[in-house]
Amino acid sequence: MLYWAGTMVVLFDRFNLPKDIYEIIFATNQQKIVAQELIKFMVKRKGEISKTDMSEFATQLHDGTYECILEEPPYKGKRVKLSYNKRQFYDRILTPMKAMGLIDYDLYKKTYRVSGKFAIDMVRIGSLWKEELKKMGFVNSD
């Protein structure tokens, strides 16, 4: 039996790479905004929040009561209320961010923490590609 836990596929055009990391990772503008707000929410709390805090954040989104000031035109600088389905938040925002190393979850403390593992893994992926080329006898001068 095959069990698929799900993965996040990130496709990008290196010649048209957006300056915003969220635009590279997330498919829709709404997902990008919600992910950005999650990180802001966590950073305001020193980069770590409890499981209860995460649930409250997701519930506020679900109820449409989460207020923030957007940095995106046409709402730039305006206070808005965001709305996002709670289940989709966990499936499409939080779970992929955990899987990619943007956010860590500590099972013992039951806390979520902003993580830099994503950057480390991107370097590791680059190294894997160089190793693959080397195995094939191709030495790239780039």
pLDDT tens by residue, 56-115: 999 999 999 999 999 888 888 999 999 999 999 999 999 999 999 999 999 999 999 999
pTM: 0.89
Please check whether residue 28 lies inside any domain of the structure. yes
How far apart are the C-alpha atoms of 63 and 61, rounded to whole Å? 5
Q: Do the domain assignments include residue 9?
A: no
Quote the pLDDT of residue 105.
98
Helix axes 51-63, 29-44, angle to 10 degrees: 140
The pair of structure tokens assigned to 84 is 């996002």
Number of domains within the chain: 1
Predicted confidence (pLDDT) per residue in 40-53, tens digit: 999 999 999 999 99
Residue 78 lies in a domain: yes
CA-nearest of 6, 25, 31 to 84 is 31
In CATH, what number is assigned to the domain containing residue 90?
1.10.10.10
Which range of residues forms the domain containing residue 104? 19-115
- The answer to the question of residue 142 being in a domain is no
Q: 123 lies in a domain?
A: no
| 8 A C-beta contact, residue 77 and residue 69 | yes
> Is residue 137 in a domain?
no
* DSSP code of residue 105: E
Q: Is residue 141 part of a domain?
A: no
